[in-house]
Amino acid sequence: MPSADWSVPFLMHQIASQVMASVNRHARAYGLKFEGVRVLYRLMAKDGRPVGELARLTGIELSTLSRVVSRMEARGLVRRVRNEKDAREVIVFITPKGRALAQQERPVYFRDYEKILLAGMGPRETEALRESLGRMLENLNHRAEPESSARVPVKAAARSA
């Protein structure tokens, strides 16, 4: 069994944390953080997404996403519109300014980080990695919680009784 430092979840967390820190340093020049970058790219892929859908796709909690979108709207990168059919729902659209920024910066996030992460890997290794990561994501989607998290500690169970 690998040490904790070499466990797959730990390594994935380390990679994601380092990429996020690097993206934050770069995006700061545009008044954004990693979360705002994710919102822009999800809207580039399909404009006019409900806030709940954006939260699910970006992995950003709804309350945090609301603040992120507000800041982005103040900078003219996105606009929010109430759904005409259901006034409870807010739909987020990318503005021309937001689209221009995302298109300008897209190579940095997709090409440069991928190049750094895949340095020294051949096409077969790269494809195998993509397939493995995709399978891991599917595994998580089919089993939301690890078995050990379903166990309630004895002290916690006693307090709730």
Position 2 scores a pLDDT of 67
Check if the beta carbon of residue 36 is closer than 8 Å to that of residue 78. no
Instruction: Give residue for tokens 């089993």.
Output: 143
Q: Please choose, from the candidates 8, 45, 32, 23, the residue with its C-alpha nearest in 3D space to the C-alpha of residue 116.
A: 23
100: tokens are: 């221009």
Distance (Å, rounded) from C-alpha 112 to C-alpha 117? 9
Position 150 scores a pLDDT of 53
Q: Is the pLDDT of residue 153 over 60?
A: no
Position 125 scores a pLDDT of 97
Distance (Å, rounded) from C-alpha 14 to C-alpha 118? 15
Name residues whose C-beta falls within 8 Å of residue 42's C-beta, 6 or more positions apart in sequence. 49, 54, 57, 58
Contacts made by residues 72-80, CB under 8 angstroms, sequence distance 24+: 72/32, 72/36, 72/39, 72/40, 72/98, 75/31, 77/32, 77/36, 77/40, 77/101, 78/39, 78/40, 78/43, 80/51
Instruction: Average the pLDDT over 16-21 and give the result.
Output: 90
Position 76 scores a pLDDT of 96
* Candidate CATH numbers 3.40.50.300, 1.10.10.10, 1.20.140.10, 3.40.50.1000; the one for domain 4-140: 1.10.10.10
**What is the SS3 assignment for 82?**
strand
pLDDT digit string, tens, across residues 37-90: 999 999 999 999 999 999 999 999 999 999 999 999 999 999 999 988 888 899
Q: Please choose, from the candidates 78, 80, 91, the residue with its C-alpha nearest in 3D space to the C-alpha of residue 32.
A: 78
Average pLDDT, the chain: 86
Identify the weakest region by mean pLDDT among 25-34, 36-45, 52-61, 102-111: 102-111
pTM for the structure as a whole: 0.73
Percent of the chain with pLDDT over 90: 57
Maximum average pLDDT range among 84-98, 108-122, 135-149 = 84-98
